[in-house]
Structure 1
Amino acid sequence: MHQSATDPRPRVLHLTQPVDGGVARVVTDLVRAQVAEGLDVTVACPDGPLTANLRTLGADVRRWEATRSPGPALVGEVRRLTRVIEQVRPDLVHAHSAKAGLAGRIAVRGRIPTVFQPHAWSFEAVGGVTAALALGWERRGARWSARTVCVSEAERRTGLRAGIAGRWRVIPNGIDTGRFRPAAADTVRARLVPEADPAAPLVVCVGRLCRQKGQDVLLRAWDAVLRRVPEARLVLVGDGPERDALRERAPRSVLFAGAVADAVPWYQAADLVVLPSRWEGMALAPLEAMACGRPVLMTDVDGARESLPPELAPRCLAPTENPAALADAVAALLLDPPLRESLGLQGRRHVLTTHDVRRTSEAVAGLYRDLLDAEPAARVAPTEYREPIHS
């Protein structure tokens, strides 16, 4: 691996915006592993709770003010990021999600090996002219990515179908299986929702309250669930731009828990964890729920099938944007406790063997070694080169 003349440790610079949700958890897990491995790790991101967590882990955190969406502020964001890069002088840059991928690749322009990890494609999040612009940028920006890391084969195929070229590596998401573990649901639930009937089925949805995560679809399905399981309760864990709109349409049986520092107890308390997303790369919430021994129900978006053991897919997947089908699937699982228990046990075994965060961190470390050991001309993919590389 390449070594600096003044410091034998490879210098890695992570760029991230957003600084919450699944992206922040992935960055945190990678930083923890890389600092432990002895890398010199810096993270450039906006201020927030993430920065304090990363400093606690031993990372150097540089303030990079950036909005979540592209716009007129981009020029200043790229300029500020260029100054950070000049100060840090990294051996490798790892840009997370669309905004950091946009600003980072413009600032670096292939002069330093750059890993881009979309965490779900930006052009899926928008429509019309904005989607066309996002897709056009992803196609052009690929020439400045030494590798594009997708968290699922489905995410990679979505990029290929969209005409994005480059050198690909598929590294599935992983979670901390020591932190996410089973507990007695009744005990945990009594602490979290003391006013609820302990025998009433509890459905939990963990995620940012935004269009991507599809909580509005789940709320549209909920009345039909209640007609079949009148005592059921639903908890939405998280916060976001859709909070007020969701509250307006939610019945009394829906609890808004807000943003929480630790979602583990909510998974442990659930009879069923539902994620009705409109798009994903590979969502973390279902993996976390399965690690806690809880059954999951997901919409059939990118990464969903790859999150599950093949035999669970028929029971654990529902079509997107279909409240009636989602309601049928939720109610059927709530009415079948033995099936839920079986799905939870199978899901935990699968996560332990396939989605442990240590496997993910080791795969990323191997990718870094490949890039830093390569000849300079081999570090950046040619524009039309498409090589699927799987971990």
Structure 2
Amino acid sequence: MEIAELTALLTPEGLRLLDEVGEVSSSDEALRAVSQLRKAGHSPDLVSAVVSQAHLRVKAQAKFGEFASRMLFTRAGLEQATRLAIAGRHAARFRDAGLTRVADLGCGIGGDALGLAALGLRVDAVDMDEITAAVAAYNLAPFGDAVTVRHGSAESCDLKEVDAAWLDPARRTAGHSETSRTRPEDWSPSLDWVLDLATRLPVGVKLGPGLDRTLIPDDVETQWVSADGSTLELVLWSGALARKGVRRSALVMRGDSAHEMTSGADAEDEPARELGAFVHEPDGAVIRARLIGDVARSLDAGMLDEHIAYLTSDAAVTSPFVQSFRVREVLPIKTKALNSALRTQNIGTLEIKKRGVDVDPAAFRRTLTLRGDASATLILARIGNKRVAILADRVAAA
């Protein structure tokens, strides 16, 4: 979004027009809306802003639910925003620790600040980008004086009046649409600045889940977060926000439910064992947190291979921290043998998973003949020196 578009949008006419346009879900709907608005005599800047916002509101429903229809977005801001359900859980940390005033340093479009303010905390929010800060101010306006938003840098903030801070450092180049990743020393604020602040103030820091673990201090709690099978973020918690005795945690959210596994350190893996009646795929947050061993012990399972994050067991149990599959049969990764099995078992719908083998699932699927009413999962994996195809059925989640 350009400043001219935002200026045109933040007027009574612009906001009224946005509500009137309603949802814009596809490119065809966007073209029709643009044509109709231009014929009605509206300016190009206003038309562009309204149609873009109508489309972003549809996309934002996955993160913000019904609140999306009352918010404004930038494309990059929406992509980087925390899901509201996760933001609410983060905010509860501050509330439960007895903290009442939080600085949101790098507030983006205001997603995390929404969670904080909704729980009754006062929020001082700041963002380096002028347009993003203006969008956040609009989104947070319903909270009145409980939330302030300003355009500025995290490093320039006076933190004397706050109890704690939430940080989401800008880890990509500046912009509202296409951006690229930068190095920790080039983040805004830099990782070194953030970690120094964490020694002086209780902080929560949202980072990418693939952060180099050697950059993580020993005295903070590290929490990897996933939602509906996608690992979304790593959060560092310091001071009063870090739970006693917890250094590793995996928060797994599926739909409206949330499950967490915690530990004082990386868990020791279970030894590899023979393929059993079940294969279990640990959630990405569990893998990142290196808590696979704890999950294995809860399932009476072992590693399928010591170098691959699949578990196997004979016990008919599952867990919210894994996806479980009941083994039908084990086959070589050869098209002829697989097609024979698929034909015999009337399989027309096939989910393909793989670890430890150099196979492109999309290309491999094109070599298979899928006909029939049954469905199954094909797990392509390496066990020791062997490459195998495990035909299996999903087990209902716990």
Give TM-score scaled by structure 2 length: 0.32
Which protein has the bigger helix share? 1
> Which structure has the greater CA radius of gyration?
2
Which protein has the bigger strand share? 2
Does 1 or 2 have the higher relative contact order (CA < 8 Å, sep 6+)?
Answer: 1
Give TM-score scaled by structure 1 length: 0.32
